[in-house]
Structure 1
């Protein structure tokens, strides 16, 4: 054989992906479809988040630790599903980094707001779920707006 072959350039691995087939359409999914899918994905992710949060509270972990674990698990679930199904976006390191930054911000909002509400509300049966819903709802609105307007427009 004549000629030279160069070794492929090393590259960073892409984030872990769910084994789902993308449908055609890219990021031009209409707003109504995105909202319905985002809400469905958010509901599943909230079950993961709240389930772990209450489990770890019952095991005696501090509220901010329990909420942090739940948030990380729920948010990871949401990103993986939203990237592939809600926004139908191709894998992108730039997008992944933008999502990490967004989730760091919403992490602070969610854990901080949840802790504030948890400490402000009286010690009643509804304290934990109401604090969770307020924090989750606030973070959900922030996430949808930023993901739709910015993150899933990154190529």
Structure 2
């Protein structure tokens, strides 16, 4: 499958996963008042699980593999740290600038998720699902 097709499918999958992720983040942070790291942990796990399941079958058309699954878990653990760190840092920064909480949360999410998604695509395409 071409790079363009895989990138397109990865972006569509990312959109679906982002709805799951951001929806849960908003629910736990804004509705239930969880601190950013806790809310982001729950939403990240749900979003990345959704992404892995769709990407393995549709984007990369790969068979089940314990080795690949472990590699993705390690990758997601690393991008999780980057993602939660950026989400927390940006949220504090933006609220410090006087932004409303919801706007700060969404802007921080876009930055953190965009960074994590870029890293995930490059590593999955070049190393895990090559």
TM bracket, shorter-chain basis: over 0.9
Quote the residue 1:26 is aligned against.
none
- Give the 3-state SS of the residue equivalent to 2:129 in structure 1: helix
Quote the residue 1:66 is aligned against.
39
CA distance in 1, matches of 2:57, 2:82: 25
CA distance in 2, matches of 1:135, 1:49: 12
* Alignment counterpart, residue 91 of structure 2, candidates 115, 118, 132: 118
Q: Deviations over 1:40-98 (max 9, x none)?
A: 00000000000000000121111110011000000000000000000001111100000
- Give the 3-state SS of the residue equivalent to 2:99 in structure 1: coil
Quote the residue 2:5 is aligned against.
33
From the CA coordinates, give the structure whose radius of gyration is larger: 1
- Aligned residue pairs, count: 125
- Name stretches of at least 5 consecutive residues in structure 1 with no aligned partner: 1-28
1:124 CA displacement: 1.6
* Alignment counterpart, residue 52 of structure 1, candidates 12, 18, 24: 24
- Name stretches of at least 5 consecutive residues in structure 2 with no aligned partner: none
CA distance in 2, matches of 1:41, 1:30: 16
CA distance in 2, matches of 1:123, 1:54: 19
Q: Which TM-score applies when normalising by structure 2?
A: 0.94
More helix by share: 2
1:33 CA displacement: 0.5
Matched, 1:81 2:58: no
Quote the residue 1:140 is aligned against.
117
Quote the residue 1:42 is aligned against.
14
